């Protein structure tokens, strides 16, 4: 039951992340995502054959369930439709992580209300416990998605947010490293698992745990 709740919820969180990029771009004058039919929450519109299906399955098989990593099909954006190329690109990029933070806050409020309305002397059923645990995990994953994507390293959203503060020359040199950046990130993730280095988790997990404590009180 935990996976029945958890997996669709995480998939929807990723979809909301991508759709938020598209809506932000649309509001700033770029209708590329809208014309591509990506401003909707149909999972089939956002599944990337390699990133959403093949890659996670291969990793699960090769690591015997120890590591899973994937991504949704990026929403198409044409920054040349923006009035301010760098600024509007940064706003569009920030919209994705912001949507994950909003999800985390909303679910945290729901979790707190449920916990506060529950008699501490009453033992929770297994179904109730799994539901609360799933909500907690979904909050955690959304915080992870938000913070991870804000890392200022191409091709992550944070690189485009940082780009708003760079000169034009530095900006285009920096964002041109997206393909190399993805390969480097894949290498880091695999190396972290193989050599048990925890390179990404060591940086992201401490602030996530701190925010989780504030949001949920747990």
Provide the H-helix boundaries in the chain. 2-27, 32-35, 43-46, 55-62, 85-116, 126-149, 157-163, 168-175, 178-194, 201-216
Cα distance between residue 200 and residue 209, in whole Å: 14
Instruction: Identify the CA nearest to 24 among candidates 157, 177, 163.
Output: 157
**Greatest pairwise CA separation for the chain in angstroms:** 63
Rg (CA), the chain: 19
Q: What are phi and psi of 120, to 5 degrees?
A: -60, -20
Q: How far, in Å, are 60, 66, 68, 147, 182 from residue 193 at the CA level?
A: 12, 8, 10, 20, 17
Instruction: Identify the CA nearest to 49 among candidates 40, 58, 38.
Output: 58
- Set 2, 18, 169, 178: catalytic member: 18
Cα distance between residue 100 and residue 39, in whole Å: 17
Catalytic residue status for 18: yes
Enzyme catalytic residues: 18
């Amino acid at each position: 039951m935990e996976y029945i709740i958890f997996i669709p919820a995480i998939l929807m969180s990723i979809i909301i992340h991508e759709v938020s990029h598209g809506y932000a771009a649309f509001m700033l004058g770029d209708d590329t995502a809208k014309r591509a039919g990506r401003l909707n929450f149909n999972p089939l519109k956002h599944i990337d054959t390699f990133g959403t299906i093949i890659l996670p399955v291969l990793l699960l098989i090769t690591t015997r369930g120890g590591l899973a990593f994937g991504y949704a099909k990026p929403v198409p954006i044409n920054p040349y439709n923006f009035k301010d190329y760098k600024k509007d690109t940064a706003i569009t990029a920030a919209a994705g992580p912001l949507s994950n933070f909003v999800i985390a806050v909303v679910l945290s409020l729901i979790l707190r209300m449920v916990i506060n309305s529950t008699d501490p002397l009453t033992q929770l059923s297994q179904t109730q416990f799994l539901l609360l645990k799933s909500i907690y995990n979904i909050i955690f994953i959304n915080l992870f998605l938000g913070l991870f994507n804000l890392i200022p390293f191409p091709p992550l959203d944070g690189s485009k947010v940082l780009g708003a503060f760079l000169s034009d020359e530095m900006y285009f040199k920096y964002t041109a490293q997206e393909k190399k950046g993805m390969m480097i990130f894949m290498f880091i993730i695999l190396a972290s698992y193989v050599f048990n280095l925890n390179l990404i988790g060591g940086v992201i997990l401490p602030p996530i745990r701190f925010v989780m404590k504030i949001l949920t009180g747990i």
